[in-house]
Amino acid sequence: MMMKNRAMTMSKRNNSLKEIADVLWNAESVLLYPHVNMDGDCLGSAVALCAALRKIGKEAYVLIEDEIAAFLRFMEKDYCTEELQIIKEPDVCICIDCGEPERFKYRKDKFFQGKTTICIDHHLTTEPFADLNYIDPKAAATGEIIYELLNGMRIVIDKEIGEALYAAIATDTGNFQYSNTTKNTHEIVAGLFDCGIDHNKVSIQLYQNIRAEKILLQNRTLQTLKLFAQGQAAICCTTKAMLEETGGKMEETEGFIEVLRSISGVEVAVFVKEVTDTTSKISMRSKEKVNVAEISKEFHGGGHMRAAGCTLNMGTSEAMETMIDTIERFLKG
Amino acid sequence: MMMKNRAMTMSKRNNSLKEIADVLWNAESVLLYPHVNMDGDCLGSAVALCAALRKIGKEAYVLIEDEIAAFLRFMEKDYCTEELQIIKEPDVCICIDCGEPERFKYRKDKFFQGKTTICIDHHLTTEPFADLNYIDPKAAATGEIIYELLNGMRIVIDKEIGEALYAAIATDTGNFQYSNTTKNTHEIVAGLFDCGIDHNKVSIQLYQNIRAEKILLQNRTLQTLKLFAQGQAAICCTTKAMLEETGGKMEETEGFIEVLRSISGVEVAVFVKEVTDTTSKISMRSKEKVNVAEISKEFHGGGHMRAAGCTLNMGTSEAMETMIDTIERFLKG
């Protein structure tokens, strides 16, 4: 029933999960492609499907091209490899949680060598590019689609597969907080509890696995916190000097902006990142009302209502001042 | 079915939810008692039950004795009052999420004036003290019990009641992360989605409603962060001077210790709070292995495996050194 309802919401260009299941049952070897900058959903979904395919006797690997972040490494095991030739002539290549080949750039040629190519994703994309495509933007996580696929294939979801799917769904829904979370999300997770998952152990891996240097960097960054526009907006910045001082990495600043948005009364949060002495990257988030994409447009940036960004050709101090001025003007108008 | 299964796990001294439902149906006026230091579960559960009782024509109020924290205030509406005489002779007094009368001290006399007293809770208690008691330690939150009670009473859970129950369950499970979360938790939340709840709006209220001063205090506190025992332990402290400096309150330090525990490799997190120049309160948390109650015993403290505390008769600097020495010794042994 679940699959039927789901299928009715699909775009016409979508294949059915049944068609994908049939291809997988008939394959002998399968390569799975998570996108670069792997997050919990793409890696968890890929590992879950890989483990499931091995359970039914397929040769299956998750082909990666970048490092697995510490908080996701518990899923790696012997599933993930950077070895392009791990399967010489794969019957099936599936990209997971990824709607454009540019997001698996260094593995792209190998992908299209698959006798059949498949794309399973929940991001809205411009043009399906694989032989079979299943894109469901209503799914909170690709992990939800994999759960339905495995149920449709009647593969028993064991503890290991279940924990990978839990990681996929928990991370992509901000632990069930984000608006993408649905009734179906909670029903699927309820189903995963039946598979014997230890959700608390997975949560510890995901959320209690932060490098001390990142904490120090966040702390140093928050020392630059400024509230403005009568407390309706907050801004802070990370400079390269702070990275040296704390041992943190620039990519570890992801999520800092959420601390700003979490402040009571703050509607717009702004985070400034030093790229060079004369280039700063700006991220913006809003809580409930302001369309930050409108603000980013003033600087030829892009984004959505609640999350947008742009680049300014100036150092961080000047960039902070510019953003404060712009946003104060915007919130008055 | 759910209620039946649940009932079988109950202690023999428990009444059934059916008995409680009957008393409520027959009552004209009901006073509800959350515990002091109200958290999301006690307030959310009380407000949900209060709103439901009003829906079926009862006179009902949530009687409180302390201030509602900002992040919970969205539930207050006209349900909550400190006015002891709001109902002169209540038919029923129910304490919610609270197993001992000392936790509603200033309302205790009024509670026992109820013609019938009821206790609904999920904490293990020593001795039931009300006329009717329903204590289910397997429930992740009292909100889960109220959900089942309302379903049993066939009261339709509307958006408002549903959002209060969601707040109750989400906060007491650490957003579904803690080990108390069960399959039933997710099934109940799936059910709440059918009531039209806006879980994202509730999450914004709960988690994006932090006083800026608290962020500043946390930041100042984390400047004292020390890793020790080869990175297996972390410690930090909040002093009264830091409160003055940042405008933060001592009660806002709750949760700071979680930042320490979230560091990769840290098994024991320690937080030191200045009480006076010569008194420090110590909190400890462990991640997966160490029994911190054992450590707190050395200083005549108490607690559980993963959360314990004690008081040291010394200032914060000396207290930090003492804890570092003790824990280094303990982790070696």
Of A208, A216, A288, the CB nearest to B262: A208
Tell me the CATH class for B212-332: alpha beta
Closest listed residue to residue A45, CA positions, set A113, A183, A140: A140
Collapsing DSSP to helix, strand or coil, B94 comes out as strand
- Quick one: closest CA in A to B221, which residue? A219
What is the DSSP secondary-structure string of B256-306?
Answer: HHHHHHTBTT--EEEEEEEEETTEEEEEEEESSS--HHHHHHTTT-EE-SS
Residue B10: per-residue pLDDT: 46
Band of residue B126 on the pLDDT scale cut at 50, 70, 90: low
CB–CB of B287 and A193 under 8 A?
no
Look at residue A79 and tell me whether its pLDDT is greater than 60: yes
Band of residue A12 on the pLDDT scale cut at 50, 70, 90: low
Collapsing DSSP to helix, strand or coil, A80 comes out as strand
Residues of A in contact with B223 (CB under 8 A): 219
The strand pairing partners of A121, in sequence order, are A135
Residue B127: per-residue pLDDT: 78
CB–CB of A287 and B204 under 8 A?
yes
ipTM higher than 0.85?
Answer: yes
CA-to-CA distance for B331 and B87, rounded, in angstroms?
Answer: 56
Look at residue A13 and tell me whether its pLDDT is greater than 90: no
Q: Does A220 touch chain B (CB under 8 A)?
A: no
Q: What is the mean pLDDT of residues B164-177?
A: 97
Q: What is the mean pLDDT of residues A254-281?
A: 96
Residues of A in contact with B217 (CB under 8 A): none
Look at residue B1 and tell me whether its pLDDT is greater than 60: no
Over chain A, what is the mean pLDDT?
94
Tokens for B158, please give them. 């509307």
Residue A127: per-residue pLDDT: 78
Band of residue A5 on the pLDDT scale cut at 50, 70, 90: very low
Band of residue B99 on the pLDDT scale cut at 50, 70, 90: confident
Band of residue B13 on the pLDDT scale cut at 50, 70, 90: confident
Residue B124: per-residue pLDDT: 79
CA-to-CA distance for B151 and A121, rounded, in angstroms?
Answer: 37
Q: What is the mean pLDDT of residues A85-102?
A: 95
CA-to-CA distance for B54 and B49, rounded, in angstroms?
Answer: 9
Look at residue A130 and tell me whether its pLDDT is greater than 80: yes
| CA B171 from centroid of its chain's CA atoms | 8
Tell me the CATH class for A213-332: alpha beta
CA-to-CA distance for A44 and A205, rounded, in angstroms?
Answer: 13
- B2-207: CATH superfamily: inorganic pyrophosphatase (n-terminal core) (3.90.1640.10)
What percent of chain A stands above pLDDT 90?
Answer: 91
Of B179, B201, B287, the CB nearest to A208: B287
Q: What is the mean pLDDT of residues A96-100?
A: 92
Residues of A in contact with B231 (CB under 8 A): 212
Closest listed residue to residue A280, CA positions, set A320, A332, A230: A320
Q: What is the mean pLDDT of residues A72-87?
A: 97
CB–CB of B263 and A203 under 8 A?
no
Radius of gyration of chain A (CA): 21
**Helices A183-193 and A159-172 sit at what angle, rounded to 10 degrees?**
150
Residue B12: per-residue pLDDT: 52
- How many CB pairs below 8 Å do chains A and B form together? 124
Q: Which of A184-188, B24-28, B128-132, B237-241 has the lowest mean pLDDT?
A: B128-132
- Quick one: closest CA in B to A209, which residue? B264
Band of residue A6 on the pLDDT scale cut at 50, 70, 90: very low
| CA B114 from centroid of its chain's CA atoms | 25
Over chain B, what is the mean pLDDT?
94
CA-to-CA distance for B333 and A84, rounded, in angstroms?
Answer: 47
Please, which residues 133-172 of chain A have a Cβ atom closer than 8 Å to chain B? 170
Q: Where are the domains of chain A?
A: 2-207, 213-332
Q: What is the mean pLDDT of residues B68-85?
A: 96
How close is the nearest chain B Cα to the Cα of A83, in Å? 29
Closest listed residue to residue B16, CA positions, set B201, B148, B105: B148
* Cβ partners under 8 Å of residue B67, min gap 6: none
Look at residue B318 and tell me whether its pLDDT is greater than 70: yes
CA-to-CA distance for A306 and A285, rounded, in angstroms?
Answer: 5
Closest listed residue to residue A237, CA positions, set A248, A245, A226: A226
Look at residue B204 and tell me whether its pLDDT is greater than 50: yes
Closest listed residue to residue B119, CA positions, set B109, B108, B130: B130
How close is the nearest chain A Cα to the Cα of B96, in Å? 25
Please, which residues 182-201 of chain B have a Cβ atom closer than 8 Å to chain A? 182-184, 186-187, 189-190, 193-194, 199-201
Look at residue A1 and tell me whether its pLDDT is greater than 50: no
Please, which residues 6-25 of chain B have a Cβ atom closer than 8 Å to chain A? none
- Quick one: closest CA in B to A263, which residue? B210
CA-to-CA distance for A65 and A80, rounded, in angstroms?
Answer: 10
Look at residue A39 and tell me whether its pLDDT is greater than 70: yes
Residue of A163, A183, A245, A290 for testing the chain B interface, max B β-carbons within 10 Å? A183
Beta carbons of B134 and B119 less than 8 angstroms apart: yes
pLDDT, tens digit, for every residue of B29-66?
A: 999 999 999 999 999 999 999 999 999 999 999 999 99
Tokens for A71, please give them. 């908080």
More confident position, B127 or A212: A212
CB–CB of A210 and B183 under 8 A?
no
Look at residue B311 and tell me whether its pLDDT is greater than 70: yes
Residue B3: per-residue pLDDT: 42
Measured at the alpha carbon of residue A205, what is the angle toward residues A73 and A57, in degrees to the nearest 5?
50
CB–CB of A227 and B215 under 8 A?
no
Band of residue B120 on the pLDDT scale cut at 50, 70, 90: very high
Closest listed residue to residue A261, CA positions, set B40, B209, B69: B209
Of A182, A204, A231, the CB nearest to B287: A204
- Quick one: closest CA in A to B175, which residue? A175
CB–CB of A264 and B70 under 8 A?
yes
Residue A126: per-residue pLDDT: 61
Residue B277: per-residue pLDDT: 96
pLDDT, tens digit, for every residue of A50-68?
A: 999 999 999 999 999 999 9
Measured at the alpha carbon of residue B127, what is the angle toward residues B121 and B130, in degrees to the nearest 5?
60
